[in-house]
Amino acid sequence: DSGVTQTPKHLITATGQRVTLRCSPRSGDLSVYWYQQSLDQGLQFLIQYYNGEERAKGNILERFSAQQFPDLHSELNLSSLELGDSALYFCASSVRLAGGVNEQFFGPGTRLTVL
């Protein structure tokens, strides 16, 4: 158990809908990262938050947004869903922003299926 929790574990929805994925980082971790893993693909970085502020963006679509709340939990919002958005979405957390020994610890993921 990495200490990172994600809810829900599974999500099935229809095209055009909007969903919210939730992540609680490990206790004491200030950085939260979101990654997407599509079928047979590696993990793609989406976005990073540090202590409530957005710090880096990767391959995140404009239909997707995220935020980190004062209690450090984070939400990833996916809107106008398309079939191609079906994927595993992972959240990871780490203590610091960058530098040094700073491994990221991953949650169990949310499997999103868009029908």
Partner 1 sequence: DQQVKQNSPSLSVQEGRISILNCDYTNSMFDYFLWYKKYPAEGPTFLISISSIKDKNEDGRFTVFLNKSAKHLSLHIVPSQPGDSAVYFCAASAYNAGNMLTFGGGTRLMVKP
Q: Tell me the closest approach of the beta carbon of residue 16 to partner 1, in angstroms.
A: 28
The interface with partner 1 within residues 24-43 (CB under 8 A) comprises 31, 33, 35, 41-43
Q: Is 74 in the site for partner 1 (CB under 8 A)?
A: no
Tokens of 59: 């391959």
Choice between 85 and 89, CB closer to partner 1: 89
Q: Tell me the closest approach of the beta carbon of residue 51 to partner 1, in angstroms.
A: 13
**Taking contact as CB under 8 A, which single stretch among the options 11-19, 67-75, 78-86, 99-107 is the one that binds partner 1?**
99-107
DSSP letter string, 40-108: T--EEEEEEEETTEEEEE-S--TTEEEEE-TTS-EEEEE-S--GGG-EEEEEEEESSSSSSS---EE--
